[in-house]
Amino acid sequence: MERLLVFPRSFPDESLYSLAVRYHRLTANDSYRQTSQELFGTYSRTCGSILPCCLHGLSKRLAGFYSLAELIDCFTLLPLYQPFLDDAAYEGAKAAMAGNRGTGLKMSLGITASRFLKHASFRYCESCVQDDTQRYGVAYWHRIHLSPGTCVCPHHGEVLRSLTFPHSSDWRCMLLPGESVGTPVMDSYGATAAGTVAEMQLWGLEHPSSVGELLNGGLLKHRMAELGFFKSGRIREKIFRPFLMERLKHGPSTNEFQEITYSCDWVLRMLHPRGSIVQPLKFYLLCWLLELGLCELQSFRPLAKAGNEYVPRRNNTNKTLDDAELESHRSAFLSCSNSKCHDKLGYQWLYRHDREWLNEYVTSHPFLRARESLIDWEARDTALARDLLIANEQIMSMSGKPKKITRSSLVRQIGQTHDFLRRPYKFPKSILLMNGLLESDHDHQIRKVRWAVKHFLLSERCATSVVFRHAGIRKSHMTEAEILNILSTV
């Protein structure tokens, strides 16, 4: 494996793509393909991504100047996602970035499902371009500017600009910020909120372990409890939703924020993730919605750093209780007429002082909630049976060739769905009546032959085949005697 003899010195918060562009110009290569082969040993299609791959080959070519972990932590956006991933997902992402194939990487991190990718672009800050050119002699791509949801520069507070590559090309033309036309990614409305989110994302990118402590310490629930939206382990959704909707009106309404600011349902799903990966943008935007800023995130200290273990309230178990006092509270509890244990007199006292006896009582006296039916099924059954009789008469009196009376024809005639057929125990009279109304093939053919004889004026001299042809019968379920009897009675 060839070793790279030259490689540019990295700048603060520089992305891997920016290093590749500067290497491309340093070596004066003709195309990105040549640059990719020299850097990664293969044609990498992810060099311009926020989560590039083929990093193991690059680390080897640098002869240990940058380890694989340093390349991932210092030049990609994976540290931004690290606090929201479990160990298996994080190790899997690192393995994908080290290898030559990154298929499914963004999907596994929930980025594809978030629909943020369709708003992704190469963004830069004009003030950063000027400062970097003056300080380092060249502008470069900042990682934080490329992160989903960063529309305002966290250093200068300016709205970022999206670079348009010339001649409908893409990032493989190897440009640096400001070298092509750039358009603002959003208007000034909501820039304050976007700037706060950008500052928190920059801090989260640089301090993933601190963000992990916030998540483990229950920052969001702690803040919701302070605002009165979280009580007794439950979210007070009736007052929480209006608060969120009012705050969202003042939030950014363009780019990635379009996917999440139209509704607050994602907030409740994020508070109960159920195994899904939380996107960093959603976490930091929720922090802003809860009136949290970077200072509050940095100063937050969880009450119990040892873990998320539940610490129960201390009971007065050491207190010596008089038998008479116990008996009086038990008697008052038993004599109470309320059916619910929690509503009985003295429940709280027994819970604190005589919990073992209370548990035995609750176990032996389970509360069975009486559920009254809100639907009068008998009345429905009677009405349905009446409708079935009317439908049967309507089908029998239809003009033209007789129509067979089946379940489907009856249901279509009464204008109801087949739902009552799936619940026969709710409609016993209707089901019994319907079974009696259904017409067999034999009875249906009898009606069709009578109709054909009357409609076409057939006589006894007609052959059976002629009668069947006029009646539309292919396979007979009738006897010759029955046909002759019908012909003779007309």
- Which of 31-35, 63-67, 70-74 is least confident? 63-67
DSSP 451: H
Please indicate, yes or no, if residue 388 is contained in any of the structural domains: yes
Q: Per residue in 186-215, pLDDT tens? A: 887 778 889 999 999 999 999 999 999 999
R_g over Cα of the chain:
38
Distance CA 419, CA 43 (A): 59
Distance CA 451, CA 334 (A): 77
| Mean pLDDT score, 324-351 | 81
Same domain, 426 and 449: no
> Per the structure block, which two tokens stand in for 272?
């109960």
Please state, in angstroms and as integers, the Cα–Cα distance from residue 373 to each residue in 239, 376, 381, 426, following that order: 32, 7, 15, 12
Task: Pick 335 or 273 by higher pLDDT.
Answer: 335
Same domain, 446 and 435: no
Q: Which amino acid is at 4?
A: L
Please indicate, yes or no, if residue 245 is contained in any of the structural domains: yes
Q: How confident is the model at residue 313 (pLDDT cuts 50, 70, 90)?
A: very low
Beta carbons of 229 and 239 less than 8 angstroms apart? yes
- What's the confidence (pLDDT) of residue 367? 67
Q: How confident is the model at residue 268 (pLDDT cuts 50, 70, 90)?
A: confident
3-state SS class at 241: helix
- What's the confidence (pLDDT) of residue 3? 86
Distance CA 94, CA 97 (A): 5
User: Considering 312, 338, 364, which residue would you say is the last residue of a domain?
Assistant: 364
- What's the confidence (pLDDT) of residue 308? 40
Beta carbons of 288 and 193 less than 8 angstroms apart? yes
Same domain, 398 and 337: no
Please indicate, yes or no, if residue 86 is contained in any of the structural domains: no
- Which of 109-118, 119-128, 285-294, 331-340 is least confident? 331-340
| Mean pLDDT score, 105-118 | 89
> Per the structure block, which two tokens stand in for 56?
């193991």
Q: How confident is the model at residue 40 (pLDDT cuts 50, 70, 90)?
A: very high
Q: How confident is the model at residue 402 (pLDDT cuts 50, 70, 90)?
A: very high
Q: Per residue in 245-258, pLDDT tens? A: 999 888 887 778 88
Please indicate, yes or no, if residue 238 is contained in any of the structural domains: yes
Please indicate, yes or no, if residue 428 is contained in any of the structural domains: yes
> Per the structure block, which two tokens stand in for 402?
């007789």
- pLDDT of 351 over the 90 cut: no
How would you class 181 by CB atoms within 10 Å of its CB: exposed for 0-12, middle for 13-18, buried for 19 or more?
Answer: exposed
Q: Which domain holds residue 356?
A: 323-364
Same domain, 392 and 433: yes
Distance CA 461, CA 475 (A): 21
- pLDDT of 53 over the 90 cut: yes
Q: Per residue in 137-147, pLDDT tens? A: 999 999 999 99
Would you list the DSSP string of 339-404? SSGGGSTTHHHHHHH-HHHHHHHHHHS--------SS-HHHHHHHHHHHHHHHHHHHHT-SSSPPP
Distance CA 213, CA 298 (A): 11
| Mean pLDDT score, 81-86 | 93
DSSP 472: T
User: Considering 439, 462, 477, which residue would you say is the last residue of a domain?
Assistant: 439
- What's the confidence (pLDDT) of residue 95? 94
Q: Rounded to the nearest 10 degrees, what angle do helices 407-414 and 377-396 cross at?
A: 110
Task: Pick 84 or 317 by higher pLDDT.
Answer: 84
| Mean pLDDT score, 371-380 | 77
Q: Per residue in 405-447, pLDDT tens? A: 998 888 888 876 557 887 888 889 999 999 999 999 999 999 9
Across the chain, mean pLDDT equals 87
Please indicate, yes or no, if residue 25 is contained in any of the structural domains: no
DSSP 259: G
Task: Pick 34 or 232 by higher pLDDT.
Answer: 34
Domain count, the chain: 4
How would you class 197 by CB atoms within 10 Å of its CB: exposed for 0-12, middle for 13-18, buried for 19 or more?
Answer: buried
Q: Percent of the chain beyond pLDDT 90?
A: 48
- What's the confidence (pLDDT) of residue 421? 80
Residues contacting 334, CB < 8 A, separation 6+: none
Same domain, 431 and 448: no
Beta carbons of 401 and 448 less than 8 angstroms apart? yes
> Per the structure block, which two tokens stand in for 419?
């739902």
Q: How confident is the model at residue 79 (pLDDT cuts 50, 70, 90)?
A: very high
- What's the confidence (pLDDT) of residue 369? 62
pTM over 0.85: no
- What's the confidence (pLDDT) of residue 270? 87
- pLDDT of 59 over the 50 cut: yes
Please indicate, yes or no, if residue 80 is contained in any of the structural domains: no
| Mean pLDDT score, 23-28 | 94
Going by C-alpha positions, the residue among 372, 111, 487, 438 that lies closest to residue 471 is 487
3-state SS class at 152: strand
Q: Per residue in 353-366, pLDDT tens? A: 888 888 888 888 77
- What's the confidence (pLDDT) of residue 128? 96
Q: Percent of the chain beyond pLDDT 70?
A: 93
Same domain, 286 and 339: no
- pLDDT of 269 over the 50 cut: yes
- What's the confidence (pLDDT) of residue 371? 62
Task: Pick 216 or 273 by higher pLDDT.
Answer: 216
Count Cβ atoms below 10 Å from residue 132 Cβ, excluding itself: 23
Q: How confident is the model at residue 29 (pLDDT cuts 50, 70, 90)?
A: very high
Same domain, 286 and 241: yes
Same domain, 263 and 335: no
3-state SS class at 230: strand
3-state SS class at 142: strand
Q: Per residue in 216-228, pLDDT tens? A: 888 998 899 888 8
Same domain, 398 and 360: no
- What's the confidence (pLDDT) of residue 317? 42
Task: Pick 319 or 85 by higher pLDDT.
Answer: 85
Same domain, 397 and 470: no
Same domain, 214 and 282: yes
3-state SS class at 159: strand
Q: Which amino acid is at 199?
A: E
Same domain, 348 and 267: no
Please indicate, yes or no, if residue 138 is contained in any of the structural domains: no
